[in-house]
Structure 1
Amino acid sequence: MEANWYFILALVAIYLIGPALFKDRSPIPETSGNVHKAAKAAEFDALLKSTTNVVVDFYADWCPPCRAIAPVFSKLADKYAIPGHLAFAKINVDHVNDVAGRYGVSAMPTFVFFENGKPAPVEARLPSPGASVVLADGGRVDRIRGADPTSLTAVTLALYERAKATAGIKGVDDGGKVE
């Protein structure tokens, strides 16, 4: 009788824990040619040196929220990237963990914003900053922890406007709509 209880307990454990053990760990496919996937710290450092503003997605292949936000990040890159002025990068924390450690990334996804090679808070008009938004002094967005498409779009739009100004590009503001 005792063996039956162990068997039933084992089945329940597999049922409850199994999905976590066998979840999709395949690489997240990148659909945008405008997203730089840095495989080494040197690649990332080179991008920071060559581009004024960079939006970085620190992610992991096994992270469901990372998978959920990936298409939004790709669309933002396709719509707002300006060579030399605004770039989008992805860092896999399991493969390039030294870069993640350098910037204190401990949750995935985390979006960090860079200006002139250094993390820099961004002044952005957020409809309502959620729990995922980490604010710096003065209410500027320091980083976003979590898959928050509304906040990510708002910060990206602010960076895009800044990049347009430094690049001398004039254009109509579309309100940050990503289709």
Structure 2
Amino acid sequence: MSSSDVLHHVGSLAELQSLFASTTYVAVDFFADWCGPCKVIAPTYEGLAKQHAAPKHLAFAKVNVDHAQDAARAFGVTAMPTFMFFKDGRQVAVNGQAAIRGADPRALSAAVEKLGGLAKKRMAEAS
């Protein structure tokens, strides 16, 4: 599976809300092209997306804060990268964190592993 198959490049708040409406859990990477730490953590996020993405259950979005300023403003993003997690369109804390600010691969991996487990559980209950 290529990263283009599992990463949703979101260009506006409306696009992000549409993804929330169609997917139970959504991990969002708020980033900027000029952000060095964003470039460093990007391969980790892409790898986690390839490993854990599940259509309708767990999606991975990338939001360029310079292009989708409405989405960044709506969620109060002031530092890049910022990772946030959503269930049924509402921001949720994962492993006690409402958001992960900065390029912290351990915290990001732990949060995505937890979401992946929740998505698998939801998929099993649905089948």
TM-score (norm 1): 0.67
CA drift of 1:68 comes to: 0.4
> Is structure 2 residue 43 aligned with structure 1 residue 87?
no
Counterpart CA distance in 2 for 1:52 and 1:76 is 17
Greater RCO, CA 8 A, separation 6+: 2
Query: What letter is aligned with 2:64?
Result: N
SS of equivalent residue, structure 1 residue 33: helix
1:4-83 counterparts in 2 under 5 A?
31-83=3-55
Task: Determine the C-alpha separation between the residues in 2 that align with 1:87 and 1:141.
Answer: 19
Counterpart check, 1:159 vs 2:112? no
Residues of 1 paired with 2:89 and 2:24: CA distance? 7
Q: CA deviation at 1:32?
A: 4.1
1:149 aligned onto 2:105:
yes
Q: Percent of aligned positions with the same letter in both sequences? A: 48
| Structure 1: unaligned runs, 5 residues or longer | 1-29, 125-139, 170-179
Q: Say how many residue pairs are matched.
A: 124
Give the corresponding residue for 1:118. Answer: 90
Q: What is the RMSD computed on CA atoms of the aligned residues? A: 1.3
- Asked if structure 2 preserves the Cα contact closer than 8 Å seen for 1:31 and 1:71, the reply is no
Please identify which structure carries the higher strand content. 2
Q: Structure 2: where are the runs of 5+ without partners?
A: none
Higher helix share: 2
TM-aligned CA deviation for residue 33 of structure 1: 2.0
What does the per-residue CA deviation read over 1:12-71, in whole Å, with 9 as the maximum and x for residues that have no partner? xxxxxxxxxxxxxxxxxx944201001122211110110010000000000000000111
The CA deviation string for residues 67-110 of structure 1, in whole angstroms up to 9 with x for no partner, is 00111110000000011111100000001011111101000000
Q: 1:101 aligned to 2:77?
A: no
Q: Distance in 1 between matches of 2:25 and 2:112?
A: 10
User: Bigger radius of gyration, 1 or 2?
Assistant: 1
